[in-house]
Structure 1
Amino acid sequence: MKPVQSAYPAYLMLALGLLVLTWNNLLGSALPAKLAELGGLHKTNKITATWLGNSQQPEEDSFSLQDMRQLSQYNLRDYDLAYALEASTSAAYQKNQSPAQVLGVNDRYDQFQQINLRSGRFLTFQQENQQVAVIDEDLAQALFRNCNVVGLEIELYGRKFKIVGVAGVDCSLIGTLTDRGYGTVYIPAKILLELEADSRITSLAMATKDAGTTGRNTAVLATALVSIGQDQANYKIIDYNVAGLLIEQDNLLRNFVAGTVVMVMLFGWLRIKIKGIDHFCRLRLRDKYWSELIKGDAARLVLGMAEIAALVAVMLLVWKLIKFTLYIPPENIPNELIDVSFWADLIKDGIQTRLQSAGYVAPPGEVQLNILTTIQNWNLFLNIFLGWPLFLLGLYQLKLLQEKLLKVEVFCSIFLLAALSLGTALLWIIKMPLVIEKGEVLLLFSSVFLTVITLIERRSGNGEFISEKSI
């Protein structure tokens, strides 16, 4: 007698698939919210320009304070503007020393970055010429062993700087991945330019008024760069409205996959219902007229048509929920589909950009964006190529083992709720935004249960799991 095969491996595979799918859903919703959170007051309504050069290139190719004043007074006077330069040095307090990342910024820098002040205030316009500093908690702990340090002084470049504020440290997953291992200090940009002979203003951030994807934001900034004698090609320009849209688009693609599963299952049911009604009518019409059929079996026909109408309505609702317009950056769209020169130029521009940015150091905001984008891309990849295959393979194994539908449904119900709770707790642990989209969660649960019912209950050869009696 052939030994009974254990169902535990199949249930384990099913559980892993459900865990991946649920975590993908929760993390995917948290990432766009985190990007907006990291953007400070303006969230993703900003556009940045970062100099692609390095210390070997002439200074006139980067921004100057005069350029910033001209932009804020004339070309971009109607927009909030922030700029920064970066350096590294040692910070000291009495005998304690610690390496520090020094950011020379203007008074509006905190409107474009997440700087959660624990005490004190950020730099003001009136302090542009003063030796004042805002330090983060890491540097405060390294130098003072506590964070109650507003009013004390630290030493940078042999000069005393009065601490006017203490910024919190981002302890989330993104903050951990971008942590350099030492603290950060913010001082007025003008002061850092005086202290660091080779330093230059390398990044500019501008608040945007157009949240669309028409390129209008980039056009405004490009025109402003030309007005101060700068070449747009020397700068990496990022429209965070578009960046946020592309991150969110991964979520839409994930929902589209789950919705497609639902649509396929519903379409299968719809086909079976239509075939059932057709078969029922053909049998009755062998010895009856249409009038007799309608008169005698009106209730069954109405019930069958109502079921078909309900299935069509649900399919339309699901389609309305998951449909979206795929966004592709305009610069990646040729005028003609077959245009060899366009694709050649696109590849050439990509290579030239990499060569030009050989010494390029991304500012903190761009580093965070790159990490968020990478995580989101992997999140979508794992959803499609790991989560769904594991779930479907486990379900197929359970079907071969002839597991009962109720048992599998109960298992999926309990495990989905457990995975949802576990994923929410994990988001809290890694300090990511707790954003749970009810519609997306419902879509995932629906796709799971419809797939379970369809695959486990479909045992007959022709795939029909309703009989003529049910019409």
Structure 2
Amino acid sequence: MKRTRVASLLVFAGIWLLVAGVGLSESFLTEWSDRSGAESLGKLVVNVDLSVDPAGRAGLTLPEADKLLQKWGRSGYYSARTVASVSGGDNKTEADVFGVGGRYDDFITFAMYRGSPLTLRSVEEHAAAVLISSSLADKLYRTRDVVGMPLQMMGITFKIVGVYEEAPSLLHRMTDNGRPDLLVPMTTLADLNPQLRIMTLELAAGPGGSITGEADASRALAAIGKSPSRYKIVNLAAERNWIGQMPKLLLGAAGSLGIVLCAVLAAARIRHMANQLRRGLATEDWADVLRRYRRPIAAGTAACFVLSVCMVALWLTIRHRFYIPPKLIPDVLIDWTFYRDRWIEGWQRQVADMGYVASASELLYKRVHELVGGFTFAGMLIGLPLLGIGLRYWALTGRALDGILTRLAIYTCVAVALTAAAASLAGTGYTLRPQELLVFVVLPILAALAPHREHQQIRERNEYT
């Protein structure tokens, strides 16, 4: 009884890690994309590298930022961040203030509670307009319905044009509240604080940006007289391809294992039919043998056909053109020094970045990378082995096949429900796609049939001998 419980626990843990590894990863990727505006993740982030320039002298002035966007030729926006004392109603507090210019609404998505976002016209007219977060509105005015109310900041009165809600999601908490408390036109902020410099730009990558984006951004910086070495350029168009394929990698590993199991089961069926024919031909002729074993042969042929269809369906489900960053491809494939140098560079980069202050988009990207990578490799390196060990353990305990399949169905449903609940607690959505459902249902069944069939053949062989 204890063995059965251990096997059941291993099987359930394996199924849940597979379902959660793919499902939660896809959920976080979707949220990341939804929070990135109309340009989604096809963009570059250019940020002043404070580990190289601690004083931030490489920051851009407003004319320099406009000139850079003009040189870039595609959509982009820039921002500067400061902390200011703000007052509204009868209350006063410190707030993170972002000044924005360019097409910022193409790169950031705000869930509006009331009012409207800042417009290009308000930026051009140096308007004293402000977009406020719902949490700051609650703190200052004890209500979120504050559109049209005045707000005192930096010695002038701003008019609140909109209130945006902050999604209570896991990613929001892990990015340390990366969204600003207040959003104002960069032109207005520059008028109030001429010494403030623009530290972050986001640029639409365009066609081929995942490969040439960093070089293009460096050339644009050089064209306005800036040294690219004083900026950190993150190519989110390339990182999207790299991180976005991780759930597909886990699904591909599970599906590939399913294809191998289909081939193993089909080969076992063929061997079983061949053994039956060989034993029959030892005492009878072909016609009598075929007549005698026509039903087992028909059943075996049908099983092989079903397994072949299953293999094709799994292949069509998991096939994907995986992306490998060009920097990870050596000139000579068998070159261990190349991989050694990439590993050393990774550690050196971590040390160099100790004084670096990431932008909100970079921080979001890093957290998504951590979550998606963790769930993917947990499913691949822990979930798949646990599932295989648990099912083989079940087979050793002699559990009937119908009981195994019933438990697998229950475990899969419970795993999907738990994953949906975990996604809800994390503040993100969860959608079970048909291709994922196919792999999650077929793989455990095949994994259960393989050891069961193996032990059945051993028993038949022992009986025959």
> Matches of residues 136-151 of structure 1 in structure 2 within 5 Å?
136-151=133-148
The question of whether the paired residues in 1 share the 8 Å contact of 2:50 and 2:355 is answered with: yes
Alignment of 1:234-383 (within 5 A): 234-286=230-282, 304-337=300-333, 339=335, 342=338, 346=342, 350=346, 353-354=349-350, 356-383=352-379
Distance 1:5 1:204 in 2: 60
Separation in 2, partners of 1:382, 1:221? 36
Label 1:59 to 1:450 Cα distance change in 2 as closer, same or farther (>3 A): closer
Alignment of 1:26-425 (within 5 A): 26-53=23-50, 57=54, 61-73=58-70, 75-77=71-73, 79-128=74-123, 129-180=126-177, 184-196=181-193, 198-210=195-207, 213=210, 215-286=211-282, 304-337=300-333, 339=335, 342=338, 346=342, 350=346, 353-354=349-350, 356-425=352-421
Q: Distance in 1 between matches of 2:194 and 2:121?
A: 24
Task: Give me the whole-angstrom Cα distance separating, in 2, the residues matched to 1:410 and 1:347.
Answer: 46
CA distance in 2, matches of 1:294, 1:401: 36
Q: CA deviation at 1:145?
A: 0.9
Q: Summarize the alignment of residues 442-457 of structure 1 with structure 2, pairs less than 5 Å apart.
A: 442-456=438-452
Matched residues, number? 461
* Cα pair distance change 1:56/1:302, threshold 3 Å: closer
CA distance in structure 1 between the partners assigned to 2:260 and 2:427 by the alignment: 37
Amino acid paired to 2:64? D
CA distance in 2, matches of 1:171, 1:182: 12
Per the TM alignment, residue 135 of structure 1 is displaced from its structure 2 partner at its CA by 0.8
Cα deviation per residue 1:183-212 (whole Å; 9 max; x = unaligned)?
Answer: 611112233334446532111112233267
Contact 1:33 1:435 in 2 (8 A): no
After the TM superposition, which of the residue ranges 94-103 and 140-149 deviates more from structure 2? 94-103
Secondary structure in 1 matching 2:226: coil
How big is each residue's C-alpha offset from its partner over 1:409-428, in whole Å with a ceiling of 9 and x where there is no partner?
Answer: 21221232122123223323
1:152 deviation in Å? 1.3
How far the C-alpha of 1:452 sits from its partner, in A, is 2.0
Looking at structure 2, the residues matched to 143 and 463 of structure 1 have their Cα atoms a distance apart, in angstroms, of 77
Question: Is this contact kept in 2: 1:424–1:434, CA < 8 A?
Answer: yes
Structure 2 distance, partners of 1:401, 1:280, is 28
Q: CA deviation at 1:343?
A: 5.2
- Say whether the 8 Å CA contact 1:106–1:123 is kept in structure 2: no
Distance verdict in 2 for CA 1:401–1:54, change over 3 Å:
closer
Which residue identity is paired with 1:30?
S
- Alpha-carbon distance in 2 for matches of 1:278, 1:227: 74
Q: Deviations over 1:376-429 (max 9, x none)?
A: 111012212332343334334333332222222212212321221232233234
What CA deviation, in whole Å up to 9, does each residue of 1:21-56 have, x standing for no partner? 322232122122112111111112222211213695
Q: 1:308 to 1:144 in 2, by over 3 A?
A: same
1:120-170: CA deviation from partner (whole Å, max 9, x where unpaired): 222222222122211110111111111111111222233322211111112
Shift in CA distance, 339/67, structure 1 to aligned 2, threshold 3 Å: farther
User: Quick one: which amino acid aligns to residue 312 of structure 1?
Assistant: S
- Per-residue displacement from partner, 1:64-105 (whole Å, max 9, x unpaired)? 2222222333x223x111111112233222541223111111
| Matches of 1:411 and 1:291, distance apart in 2 | 43
Secondary structure of the residue that 1:243 maps to in structure 2?
A: helix
Query: Which blocks of at least 5 consecutive residues in structure 2 are unaligned?
Result: none
2:424 to 407, 425, 428: 428
Asked whether the equivalents of residues 46 and 206 of structure 1 are also in contact (C-alpha less than 8 Å), the reply is: yes
SS of 1:100's equivalent?
Answer: strand
* Aligned partner letter, 2:383: G
Residues 444-463 of structure 1, C-alpha deviations (whole Å, 9 max, x = no match): 11111221232345424748
Evaluate the alpha carbon distance shift between residue 400 and residue 356 of structure 1 in structure 2; reply closer, same or farther with a 3 A threshold.
Answer: closer
Instruction: Name the SS for the 1:366 alignment partner.
Output: helix
Q: Is the 8 A contact 1:29 1:437 kept in 2?
A: no
Structure-1 separation of matches of 2:254 and 2:399: 24
Q: Which amino acid aligns with 1:160?
A: T
The letter of the residue matching 2:96 is: Q
Stretch deviating more after TM superposition (343-352 or 427-436): 343-352
Distance in 1 separating the partners of 2:88 and 2:183: 16
Counterpart-to-counterpart distance in 2, 1:385 and 1:109: 41
* Structure 2 SS opposite 1:42: coil
Task: Rate the CA distance shift 1:251–1:145 in 2: closer, same or farther, 3 A.
Answer: same
Shift, 1:353, TM fit: 4.5
Q: Quick one: distance in 2 between partners of 1:464 and 1:194?
A: 88
Q: Distance in 1 between matches of 2:96 and 2:396?
A: 60
CA RMSD of aligned residues (A): 3.1
State the alpha-carbon separation in 1 of the partners of residues 244 and 459 from structure 2: 37
SS, match of residue 155 in structure 1:
strand
Aligned to 1:20: 17
Q: TM-score, normalised by structure 1?
A: 0.87
Greater Cα offset, 128-137 or 6-15:
6-15
- Mapped to 2, the partners of 1:295 and 1:461 lie a distance apart of 23
Is 1:62–1:202's contact at 8 Å kept on the other side of the alignment?
Answer: yes
Separation (CA, whole Å) in 2 of partners of 1:56 and 1:262: 53
CA contact (8 A) 1:84 1:105 kept: yes
Mapped partners of 1:183, 1:327: distance in 2: 34
CA shift for structure 1 position 367? 0.9
Separation of aligned partners in 2, 1:20 and 1:262: 16
For residues 2 and 78 of structure 2, the distance between their equivalents in structure 1, rounded to whole angstroms, comes to 66
Unaligned segments of structure 1, at least 5 residues: none
